[in-house]
Amino acid sequence: MLRRELDLDLREFARDYLDTEAVGAACRSCPRYGATWACRPFDFDVSDLLGRYSRLRLFACTFEPGGADVSFESLRPVRDALNAEILALEQSEGGFATYFGGSCTLCRECTRPLGLPCRHPEKMRPSLEALGFDLCRALEDKFHIRLDWSPSPREITLVAALLHN
């Protein structure tokens, strides 16, 4: 796996890549919209969250999927391992971790449709794209990575960040 990392000014990154309206529209068309606490609409204010931090450590992890199946489920082991790493980084260095794409998969059934609180707020984190960032543009500009949306991509890149001060 190829890992890339950049430490960036969060205000500048938000100015250049936060596109709440476009991402919000995409989220509303997703079946997971409102289905987990890591998905929109959030029970917290994104501006308040971003306002607490001045820097963003951006991580891009690229790997070959090694098979025809590139479904969310097939990528889950890699994603779960990367999420555990960034959560450990949050715990050791402080800040706020965002997860590597997709939705929350910590529980077999999320409590949100039942109107109950999250079972694991200490582990549940939203992804950077769910917060409203246009990661396609950010990846091209910062790492010269163009995402391949074909059904059988040769490489997959997952992105996450640690917000910090």
Q: Is 120 in the site for ligand SF4 (CB under 6 A)?
A: yes
List Cβ neighbours of 128 (8 Å cut-off, separation of 6 or more).
98, 135, 159, 160, 161
Distance CA 142, CA 67 (A): 28
CB of 145 to ligand SF4, least distance (A): 28
Binding mask 60-99 for ligand SF4 (x = CB under 6 A): ----------------------------------------
- What is the arrangement of strands in the sheet containing 156-164, beginning at the earlier edge strand? 2-9, 55-63, 156-164, 96-98
> Among residues 26, 49, 70, 106, which is the contact residue for ligand SF4, using CB under 6 A?
106
Distance CA 98, CA 83 (A): 8
Q: Is 125 in the site for ligand SF4 (CB under 6 A)?
A: no
Restricted to residues 25-44, the positions that interact with ligand SF4 (CB under 6 A) are 36-38
Q: Is 107 in the site for ligand SF4 (CB under 6 A)?
A: yes
What is the residue type of 107? Answer: C
The single-letter DSSP state of residue 99 is B
**In the chain, count of helices (H) and strands (E)?**
5, 4
Three-state secondary-structure class, residue 146? coil
CB of 120 to ligand SF4, least distance (A): 4
The region of 42-50, 79-87, 113-121, 152-160 touching ligand SF4 under the rule CB under 6 A is 113-121
Q: Is 147 in the site for ligand SF4 (CB under 6 A)?
A: no
Binding residues for ligand SF4, rule: CB under 6 A, are 36-38, 104, 106-107, 110-112, 118-120, 124
